[in-house]
């Protein structure tokens, strides 16, 4: 308690809560983080000396380090992630639920004395630009220096947040401990009614850097519902055309499905004068503005992205971004001390140290972990938008839902209206990826790409979306894309990456009323002649296949959508059942 007094924290609620967590976790030392560069550097040095980080080749990758995680702790663990409320219905059928009191009893015993040989870091952080009315503070208490440096990269961390909190403003509380990294004692628990997160037993970004998924999505989604805004798993970009016209769009794609690539897209040479400006690659907080439109801010200040496949062709902008001041997690190491990952430029080296720290030769096994990541500051991204720090954010003209599907879903289609768009988002199905522990490549319903991140009953979440649209005079248009459709031989039909600008161009033309479209039972698809395919070696048959709406396949899909919607019982919005029935009727009639 004495130590706490010396920290001179002004926010009364924060002081009281810290006193409680200190009494519970009994740390050896306490450090209040100020967010300075000196503090960052000294944490890095400490981790280097303890072997928690490995210095990469500083000539080629200045300020870059490698972290190897416990092999048991390499991705989000959705089965160990809980929403804790008094009533199970508040969490709904898509979340794991624990009763508040039972969860606390269990967690208090796990946290009891867990920091007795460790330093406790008190990490105040700000989500959103400094002077934005939509920004929020959080305070995370952790015993992981890796989490502290990650939070410094991914948020506006330290004094900036303490100042924000001085006027006794509300904040989100996060208590994190590495615990013993035993998956049997790993829990990521959210108490949305108390704006509290308690996470133990993992040091993986999505489980442990509590500002990100836990605060900015799960807890914030609950706040958004109460206060009339949306916290979404979405990238935000501005697309500038040669004549200077600039449209902002957001895009919801499941984890590890290309949000970062789209957010940092470098238009191909044939798109001279086009620019994609990056505002965010993972999370958007979206508010209704007085102009009747939706505006978005990115609450984060850095990118925590999958590094596999990043190369000078697929993502030159991110490749440039991660060349400095970046923490790499679970990449392989070349003999010259530079990082290596599958899909990187150049030949596969004949020898490497793999992500587990073992000698590796090409043997069919992967050298980097499939979910190897970079943690890197947004400010050094060459395509960062000048609006990145704008307190108001940017006005959104279109929302894109995107799901990785080998078949079924066309390259792009547009919803008929907001309600239909909410149905399109709510019925989204996508193949699972390596970002979460579990089987990869299995189709699951992942509404709005929020399945693992919605902090409350998703039936209420769908209702909330409908309400937001009805309150908006000029809501964004809603689209769905699928870059990953394959032919019968299993080959991708669409080149993807930078060529996705062609689809964005059609979307922009649609929202500006410049092109017509073909009405299908699932929405509007492009007329082939309106898709800009100049310079692409793609046949008319391939495009037809990419845009094909297979009636039988869709009717089959609807059966699964129905089963999913039914799990919400009476709470499920009737408007979406109506959209379901209309879609089915249109398909039967087609």
Residues near ligand OXD, by CB under 6 A = 76, 206, 255, 282, 304, 435
- In the complex, the residues that contact Mn ion under the rule CB under 5 A are 255, 282
Q: Cβ closer to ligand OXD: 165 or 189?
A: 189
Q: Which two tokens stand for residue 222?
A: 């609950």
Residue nearest ligand OXD, Cβ-based: 255
Token pair 């920290």 is found at 7
Q: C-beta of 216: minimal distance to ligand OXD in Å?
A: 10
Q: How far is the CB of 212 from ligand OXD (least distance, A)?
A: 7
Q: Which does 370 bind (CB under 5 to 8 A by kind): ligand OXD, Mn ion, none?
A: none
Q: What is the DSSP string of 308-367?
A: TT--TTT-HHHHHHTTSS-EEES-EE-TTS-EE-TT-SSPPPS-EE-TTS-EE-SSSS-S
> What is the rounded distance in angstroms from the CA atom of residue 201 to the CA atom of residue 176?
9
Give whichever of 85 and 330 is closer to Mn ion, judged by the CB atom: 330
Least distance from Mn ion to the Cβ atom of residue 260, Å = 9
Q: Which residue lies nearer to ligand OXD by CB, 281 or 499?
A: 281
Nearer to ligand OXD, 218 or 387 (CB): 218
Q: Which does 18 bind (CB under 5 to 8 A by kind): Mn ion, ligand OXD, none?
A: none
What tokens appear for 438 in the block? 């579990």
Distance in angstroms (rounded) separating the CA atoms of residues 263 and 265: 6
CB of 304 to ligand OXD, least distance (A): 5
Within 8 A by CB and 6+ apart from 47, the residues are 53, 65, 145, 146, 149
- Among ligand OXD, Mn ion, none, the one that 196 touches (CB under a kind-dependent 5 to 8 A) is none
Pairing of β 339-340 and β 246-252:
unpaired
Our CB check for Mn ion shows the closer of 164 and 303 to be 303
Query: Which residues sit opposite 339 in a β-bridge?
Result: 333
Q: Who contacts 567 (Cβ-Cβ below 8 Å, separation ≥6)?
A: 93, 94
Question: Which residue lies nearer to ligand OXD by CB, 114 or 188?
Answer: 188
Q: What tokens does 544 get? A: 């037809």
User: 176-202: buried (b, 16+ CB within 10 Å) or exposed (e) per residue?
Assistant: bbbbebeeeebbbbbbbeebbbbbbbb
With respect to ligand OXD, which residue has the nearer C-beta, 253 or 524? 253
How far apart are the C-alpha atoms of 194 and 186, rounded to whole Å?
A: 21
| Smallest gap from residue 255 Cβ to Mn ion (A) | 5
In whole angstroms, the minimum distance from the beta carbon of 235 to Mn ion comes to: 9
Cα separation of the two ends of the chain: 71
Q: Taking the complex as a whole, how short is the minimal distance between the CB of residue 239 and Mn ion, in angstroms?
A: 21
Cβ 252 to ligand OXD, closest distance in Å? 11
Q: Which of Mn ion, ligand OXD, none is residue 304 near (CB under 5 to 8 Å by kind)?
A: ligand OXD
Q: Which of 151/255 has CB closer to ligand OXD?
A: 255
């Amino acid at each position: 308690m004495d130590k706490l007094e010396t920290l001179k924290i002004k926010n009364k609620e924060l002081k009281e809560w810290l006193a409680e967590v200190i009494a519970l976790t009994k740390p050896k030392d306490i450090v209040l983080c100020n967010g300075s560069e000196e503090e960052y550097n000294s944490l890095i040095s400490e981790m280097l000396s303890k072997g928690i980080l490995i210095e990469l080749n500083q000539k080629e990758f200045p300020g870059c380090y490698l972290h190897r995680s416990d092999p048991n702790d390499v991705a989000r663990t959705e089965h160990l992630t809980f929403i804790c409320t008094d009533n199970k219905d508040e969490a709904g059928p898509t979340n794991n639920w624990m009763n508040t009191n039972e969860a606390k009893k269990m967690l208090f015993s796990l946290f009891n004395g867990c920091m007795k040989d460790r330093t406790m870091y008190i990490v105040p952080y700000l989500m959103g630009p400094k002077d934005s009315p939509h920004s929020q503070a959080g305070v995370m208490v952790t015993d992981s220096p890796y989490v502290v440096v990650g939070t410094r990269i991914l948020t506006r961390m330290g004094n900036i947040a303490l100042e924000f909190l001085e006027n006794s403003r509300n904040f989100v509380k996060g208590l994190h401990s590495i615990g013993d990294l035993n998956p049997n004692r790993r829990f990521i628990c959210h108490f949305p009614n108390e704006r509290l997160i308690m996470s133990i037993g993992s040091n993986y970004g999505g489980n442990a850097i509590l500002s990100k998924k836990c605060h900015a999505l799960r807890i914030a989604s609950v706040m958004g519902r109460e206060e009339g805004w949306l916290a979404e798993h979405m990238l935000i970009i501005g697309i500038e055309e040669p004549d200077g016209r600039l449209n902002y769009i957001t895009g919801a794609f499941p984890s590890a499905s290309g949000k970062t690539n789209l957010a940092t897209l470098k238009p191909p040479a044939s798109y001279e004068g086009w620019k994609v400006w990056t505002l965010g690659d993972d999370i958007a907080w979206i508010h209704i503005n007085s102009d009747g439109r939706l505006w978005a801010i990115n609450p984060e200040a850095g990118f925590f992205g999958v590094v596999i496949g990043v190369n000078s062709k697929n993502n030159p902008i991110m490749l440039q971004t991660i060349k400095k001041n970046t923490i790499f997690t679970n990449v392989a190491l070349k003999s010259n001390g530079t990082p290596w990952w599958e899909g990187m430029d150049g030949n596969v080296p004949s020898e490497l140290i793999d992500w587990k720290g073992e000698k590796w030769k090409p043997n069919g096994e992967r050298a980097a972990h499939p979910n190897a990541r970079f943690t890197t500051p947004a400010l050094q991204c060459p395509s960062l938008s000048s609006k990145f720090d704008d307190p108001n954010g940017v006005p959104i003209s279109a929302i894109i839902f995107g799901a990785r599907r080998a078949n079924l879903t066309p390259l792009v289609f547009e919803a008929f209206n907001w309600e239909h768009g909410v149905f399109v988002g709510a019925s989204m199905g996508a193949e699972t990826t390596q970002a979460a522990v579990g089987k990869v490549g299995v189709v699951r319903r992942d509404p709005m790409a929020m399945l693992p991140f919605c902090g409350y009953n998703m039936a209420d979440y769908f209702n909330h979306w409908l309400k937001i649209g009805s309150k908006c005079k000029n809501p964004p248009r809603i689209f769905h894309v699928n870059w990953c459709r394959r032919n019968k031989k299993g080959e991708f039909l669409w080149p993807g990456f930078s060529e996705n600008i062609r689809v964005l161009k059609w979307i922009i033309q649609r929202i500006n009323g410049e092109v017509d479209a073909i009405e299908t039972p699932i929405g509007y698809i492009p007329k082939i002649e309106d898709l800009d395919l100049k310079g692409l070696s793609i046949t008319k048959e391939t495009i037809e296949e990419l845009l094909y709406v297979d009636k039988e396949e869709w009717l089959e899909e609807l059966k699964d959508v129905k089963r999913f919607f039914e799990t919400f019982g009476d709470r499920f919005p009737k408007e979406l059942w109506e959209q379901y029935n209309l879609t089915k009727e249109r398909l039967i009639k087609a």
